[in-house]
Amino acid sequence: MNLRDLNKVWEIKALKKKPREDEAMKILEKVANQVQPIMTRRKWRVKLLSEFWPTNPRLLGVNVNRGVQVKLRLRRANNDGDFLSYHEILDTMLHELCHNAHAPHNASFYKLWDDLRKECEELMSKGITGTGQGFDAPGKRLGGFSLQPPLSSLRSTAAKAAENRVRSGNLLPSGPQRLGGDSSIMSHLSPIQAAAMAAERRLLDDIWCGSQSTDEALQDQENDSTEPVRETLTSLNARSAKRSSSCSNTTNSSPPSSSHQWGSDIIDLTEEPSESRFIKRSCNPSDIGQEG
């Protein structure tokens, strides 16, 4: 058996208790096919790509244990019969795949995400999906696929839609978009401006991406368990202040350590902290709700 055949999505699973299940499966299949050349090239594997509809409306995706499972939100938080745009879901998938290589949302992570976007844009412009030996078996060019707009322009559409959701009171973050990650923009900013923009992007991604802290229990709304929902929070104000202090002393500080302890800043709800806290995401959750 060729080990390259394993560098792909092994299995997909849509929620069975939600409307339009067949359409959800097709979306997951399409996403898996589109990212397969990227996964093959980088020797990445995802054992299970599944749909989730978490109780936390801000979560869009989660990577469990660097590819053991990737969960994607396909449906809008306030309407489970309405799907997010395909390219918004695809961009979230690219983001979650980056966690196969990098745990934190740091500079290396965002460089990789931008690289994956460019690579995916090129594949899409050529109508290429699959590898010929993987998920779609055989790989093929999809007629008319190249007529779709590039991912970069569709990111703008996704960002605008996310902004509208915020304004309408759904309290969803901006979602996957290039905030502080475009090198052409960053090159024209001062070091302080660039650091502030990068910090803002990390804070937003920490909300909608569920792929870093280890203690948060991501309770899926499809879980039939009667156990109470437990969500672990972290002090966004404290982290923001810490990062601001770090940014202001960048020139005098030593390079950060390459090691990163996932979930090191998690605070348990049982501590009853006094300061305001925000929901944080989970990369290696020990208690993920089961889909139907």
Q: Tell me which residues are annotated as active site.
A: 96
Phi, psi of 14, rounded to the nearest 5 degrees: -100, 160
* Tokens matching residue 268: 């348990």
Distance separating alpha carbons of residues 224 and 267, to the nearest angstrom: 27
Residues 6+ apart with CB under 8 A from 190: none
Distance separating alpha carbons of residues 2 and 132, to the nearest angstrom: 13
- How far apart, in Å, are the Cα atoms of 65 and each of 2, 108, 126, 291? 24, 19, 32, 18
Residues 6+ apart with CB under 8 A from 236: 203, 206, 276, 277, 278
- How far apart, in Å, are the Cα atoms of 167 and each of 44, 162, 163, 173? 37, 9, 6, 10
Distance separating alpha carbons of residues 117 and 172, to the nearest angstrom: 23
Task: Tell me the one-letter amino acid at 152.
Answer: S
Distance separating alpha carbons of residues 283 and 210, to the nearest angstrom: 6
* Tokens matching residue 165: 């959701």
What letter does residue 79 receive in the DSSP assignment?
E
